[in-house]
Amino acid sequence: MDCKHTQGHIVLPIFYHVDPSDVRNIGGSFKKSFDEYETTRSVDEVKRWKLAFAEVGKSEGRHIDGSISDRPETQYIKDIVVYVMQKLKHRVFLSLGEETRLNFSNHLVKGLEKVGINVFPDNETLGKGEKLLPTNVRAISASNLSILVLSKYYASSKLC
């Protein structure tokens, strides 16, 4: 969210099988992860993360609930690709958790690349809460749009 405020990035949250209110209010699976962070990270760092997730949870995005009445993921991917194409044809940074890396996020990357959008998926495996690698920082800075695939276990993922 820092890049949104400092560099004017567009942020598109994708709430993948997670309720946006759990992201916004640090509830559900996010609460468990933040309870752990509060014992291992500084108070200021946790506060900054909570504020960022609260802002993301209030942002307009896509909610994929995965219920029987929900539409197919392929339709969401097409909609996201169209949205991104309307916004830009430049670099996109994709922040994802481990549980979507090999399915939804992988298909989304392929869909964006198929229409000529340059995507940098966050595939670095760091320890939970570790600082970003310089390659990630450069990719985020060079991007015009960040897509956050917020899945149920995103906050506890090594890729978060």
Tell me: the pLDDT tens digits for 18-32?
999 999 999 998 898
Sign of the Cα torsion 127, 131, 136, 140 reads: positive
Asked whether the predicted pLDDT for residue 88 surpasses 70, the reply is no
Q: How far, in Å, CA of 150 to CA of 96, rounded?
A: 7
Average pLDDT over residues 125-138: 67
For 65, the 3-state DSSP assignment is coil
**151 with 100: CB under 8 angstroms?**
yes
- Domains of the chain listed by start with CATH number: 2-156 (3.40.50)
Please check the confidence at residue 120 and state whether its pLDDT lies above 70.
yes
- Looking at residue 19, the DSSP 8-state letter turns out to be -
- Compute CA 69 distance to the chain's CA centroid, rounded to the nearest angstrom: 24
Q: What pLDDT is stored for residue 17 in this prediction?
A: 92
d(CA 100, CA 109): 11
pLDDT in tens, 48-76: 999 999 999 999 889 998 888 889 999 99
> How many angstroms separate the first and last alpha carbons of the chain?
13
90: pLDDT strictly greater than 60 = no
